[in-house]
Amino acid sequence: MKKFLNLCIIIALAYACCGKGNSLEEKVENTLSQLTLEEKVALTHAQSKFSSGGVPRLGIPELWHTDGPHGIRPEVLWDEWVQAKWTNDSCTAFPCLENLAATWDRELSALYGKSIGEEARYRKKDVLLGPGVNIGRTPLNGRTFEYMGEDPFLASEMVVPYIKGVQSNGVAACVKHFAVNNQEVRRTGTSSNVDDRTMYEIYLPAFKAAVQEGGAWAIMGSYNLWNNQFNCHNERLLKDILKGEWGFDGIVVSDWGGCRDDDEAAANGLDIEMGTWVDPDLEVEGASNLYNLYHLANPYLERLRDGRASMEDLDDKARRVLRTIYRTSMSEEKHFGSFTSPEHFAAGRKIAADGIVLLKNDGALPLNIPQGGRILLVGENAYKMMTVGGGSSSLKTKHEIIPLDALREAFAGKADVIWERGYVGDTTTDYNLVVTGQDLSESRSPEQLLADALAAAKDADQVIFIGGLNKSKNQDKEGTDRLDIVLPYGQDALIEALAEVCPNLVVVNISGSPVAMPWASKVNAIVQSWYGGSESGHALADVLTGAVNPSGKLPFTMPFALADGPLKTQRQYPGIKEEGKQWWQEYYDEGVFVGYRWYSSKGIPVQYPFGYGLSYTTFELSGAKLSASSIKAGKEVSATIMVKNTGSVAGAEVIQLYVNDEDASVERPARELKGFQKVFLEPGASAKISFKIKPEHLSFFDADAHSWKLEPGDFHILIGTSSENLPFDLPLKVS
């Protein structure tokens, strides 16, 4: 009889849920009304390493979560981090998100999101644990490569299309790590102490855009604390701001192990608890998975039964989880996705190439090699694969084209391409049981490696140094910060030595974060490349050969030295221990003066500025003007400018618009990015670019009033092609 009744319920529910016209909310409410207390609680926590509960009795599937922002991580065993050694889960490795940000191209971000969403859907994953949009407060942050730069406007504009692209496949983007998780040092035990103005102007905007413009279905709470409450259950952050002010209707997922407290998890806005570190000695009924010991499992059931936790909060959690299931695995639009398709590799190659930044070029690029010539590559990064490693964003990819192979391919039949390692960086070739298959062992001494490189340089028509960082410990890796921005492994000395013997030395830095370049004046050309994914080698070769005209712009400042930056004290970074406080304390004393906001306001010269990047062609900007030179507060004004390709090859320029508030009642940065457009032009062609300047672009956040404030006065609209090259200064009076 019971089975029959259940069957009737399932049929009725199936009809109700999938019947014509039942809106999403009706389906959610309908299902919620069927659930027992235990079934609702099961929705709110993990049941395996990467899945959280569904409702088996009603045929509602569990939610499958997957890393990461750059591609779909390989399948793991039920309760493990290491890969399960499937043979059909080698993915497309897309470029790192700092590389995407460096394209300044919203359309490429949409292409990226659509492509990675297709791979997630194909792999039957419902929640993609990415993108990450934490602002680059310090160049030392070990996960800079996973994020989208040092400016909230750039990150906001670039994250929205990615989210929409992912979610067009019925996969939830889970935007992370919310919030002010701007370092890896002691990330699970440091309180980021940040004032409201700094939060609202710098660290919240990209998340707000993700929710309100991107329509993100999921947000990941971060490991750290904000003002001494853990962010995975930070009442102000999750209930007041995210769900209250912003109207977020999706799920808050904890970072893996980020949920730390029974009562706060129940009451402060966390919806799904994942990856909690439960004491493995506490075997529960012999089960290996210990999931019943999660904060939102047995302890939560107890609190619900004895009244310490509210049923209303439970229903809110369950409602959000069901809403996510109906948006993804039970979506009425059945998506199939696609995996490692030629289109995905082509997308990866284009995004990687369009984010490569040409920092200097005294003529060596694009490469001009005589027939039968010889190109020497020096540096470990010409050879080392980078898709494996770096932390949770590590991937098992179908293929990774390294620079050496791509350049050999590009010059086949035209020139020899040989390689000298030059130095030994990281010999690791595996991560979580994924192996690259490379052998990076080395028997030569550093002196021998240098001698061999210099000897080979003598016979080369062109020498290209390809080095940088490599996603190993302290070199762009989750869980560790960098220790300085100086290149490791003696690369500076090697570059200097090569520059002595190679007048047209080209240096390619592959990294996900800024590095110091003390040798910049001694080399002919400098290229900032990135962890470009499966097609990274092809993308770099495309730019070096001129097949692609570089159009990337720096998403962060390249300072001369770390000490030039705004973080001067331990108190600011990486934090201090204070009497009577359980957790480390870090104070964002620099306030809104982060990145170029700091350097430009203090007049500190930098190696290469935010927004900077050269091209193989030249552009001319002219005729910048505003539609009005004075406006009433609250009105919009538009800015227009002509841009012309005055060179001999097609290319793209990124026109950038910054605002300056000359007489604010608070200290404001000398300039703030509030508009950018990438425009592609054939030689000799022109285009008119226009920007709409809205009141919020001119405002600052008044923490006392808890609102944005536009003060009347004199403003300057600055337009140009980098944060330090703004030749047009248009005055704007706001009355």
Binding stretches for ligand GLC (CB under 6 A): 67-68, 129, 176, 255-256, 392
Instruction: Tell me how far, at minimum, the Cβ of 50 lies from ligand GLC, in Å.
Output: 8
When the beta carbons of 129 and 140 are compared against ligand GLC, the nearer one is: 129
Strands (E), 194-333: 218-221, 225-226, 229-230, 251-254
Instruction: Tell me how far, at minimum, the Cβ of 141 lies from ligand GLC, in Å.
Output: 13
Using an 8 Å Cβ cutoff, are 654 and 712 in contact? no
When the beta carbons of 91 and 129 are compared against ligand GLC, the nearer one is: 129
What is the C-alpha separation between 226 and 230, in angstroms, rounded? 7
User: In this structure, is the dihedral angle defined by the CA atoms of residues 517, 520, 524 and 526, taken in order, positive or negative?
Assistant: positive
When the beta carbons of 255 and 586 are compared against ligand GLC, the nearer one is: 255
For residue 158, what is the enclosing H or E element? helix 152-167
The structure tokens listed for 623 are 């005729």
Strand pairing class (434-435; 63-66): unpaired
DSSP 333-365: S------S-HHHHHHHHHHHHHT-EEEEESS--
When the beta carbons of 119 and 201 are compared against ligand GLC, the nearer one is: 119
When the beta carbons of 185 and 466 are compared against ligand GLC, the nearer one is: 185
When the beta carbons of 223 and 423 are compared against ligand GLC, the nearer one is: 223
Q: Is 374 exposed, middle or buried (0-12, 13-18, 19+ CB in 10 A)?
A: middle
For residue 660, what is the enclosing H or E element? strand 651-661
Chain position carrying tokens 């226009």: 690
Closest CA relative to residue 511, chosen from 530, 537, 492, 495: 530
When the beta carbons of 181 and 677 are compared against ligand GLC, the nearer one is: 181
Catalytic residue selected from 67, 89, 151, 255: 255
Instruction: Tell me how far, at minimum, the Cβ of 280 lies from ligand GLC, in Å.
Output: 18
User: In the structure, how many helices (H) and strands (E) does the chain have?
Assistant: 18, 28
Which residues have C-beta within 8 Å of that of residue 490, sequence separation ≥ 6? 423, 446
When the beta carbons of 67 and 89 are compared against ligand GLC, the nearer one is: 67
Check if 564 is active-site. Answer: no
Instruction: Tell me how far, at minimum, the Cβ of 71 lies from ligand GLC, in Å.
Output: 13
When the beta carbons of 68 and 379 are compared against ligand GLC, the nearer one is: 68
Order across the sheet with 619-626: list the strands.
619-626, 637-645, 686-693
Taking each helix axis from N to C terminus, what angle separates 24-32 and 2-18, rounded to the nearest 10 degrees? 160
Question: Three-state DSSP class for 719?
Answer: strand
In degrees rounded to 5, what are phi and psi of residue 544?
Answer: -65, -35
Strand pairing class (672-681; 218-221): unpaired
Instruction: Tell me how far, at minimum, the Cβ of 274 lies from ligand GLC, in Å.
Output: 7
What is the C-alpha separation between 588 and 575, in angstroms, rounded? 10
Instruction: Tell me how far, at minimum, the Cβ of 108 lies from ligand GLC, in Å.
Output: 23
Helix residue ranges per DSSP H, 513-641: 536-545, 596-602
For residue 730, the one-letter residue type is: L
The structure tokens listed for 427 are 């010999």
Strands (E), 114-262: 127-128, 172-178, 190-193, 218-221, 225-226, 229-230, 251-254
Q: Find the length of the chain.
A: 735
Instruction: Tell me how far, at minimum, the Cβ of 176 lies from ligand GLC, in Å.
Output: 5
What is the C-alpha separation between 182 and 187, in angstroms, rounded? 9
Instruction: Tell me how far, at minimum, the Cβ of 256 lies from ligand GLC, in Å.
Output: 4
Using an 8 Å Cβ cutoff, are 184 and 512 in contact? no
When the beta carbons of 271 and 313 are compared against ligand GLC, the nearer one is: 271
Using an 8 Å Cβ cutoff, are 730 and 717 in contact? yes
Closest CA relative to residue 417, chosen from 544, 313, 604: 544
Instruction: Tell me how far, at minimum, the Cβ of 67 lies from ligand GLC, in Å.
Output: 5
Instruction: Tell me how far, at minimum, the Cβ of 488 lies from ligand GLC, in Å.
Output: 24
When the beta carbons of 256 and 326 are compared against ligand GLC, the nearer one is: 256
Question: Three-state DSSP class for 55?
Answer: strand
Using alpha carbons, list the distances in angstroms from residue 281 to 207, 286, 287: 38, 11, 12
Side-chain-facing half-sphere of 584: CA atoms under 13 Å: 19
Instruction: Tell me how far, at minimum, the Cβ of 375 lies from ligand GLC, in Å.
Output: 39
When the beta carbons of 434 and 621 are compared against ligand GLC, the nearer one is: 434
What is the C-alpha separation between 231 and 234, in angstroms, rounded? 5
Using an 8 Å Cβ cutoff, are 610 and 723 in contact? yes
Instruction: Tell me how far, at minimum, the Cβ of 207 lies from ligand GLC, in Å.
Output: 15
For residue 559, the one-letter residue type is: P
When the beta carbons of 251 and 730 are compared against ligand GLC, the nearer one is: 251
Instruction: Tell me how far, at minimum, the Cβ of 272 lies from ligand GLC, in Å.
Output: 12
Order across the sheet with 630-631: list the strands.
630-631, 728-734, 713-720, 651-661, 672-681
Residues classed as catalytic: 255
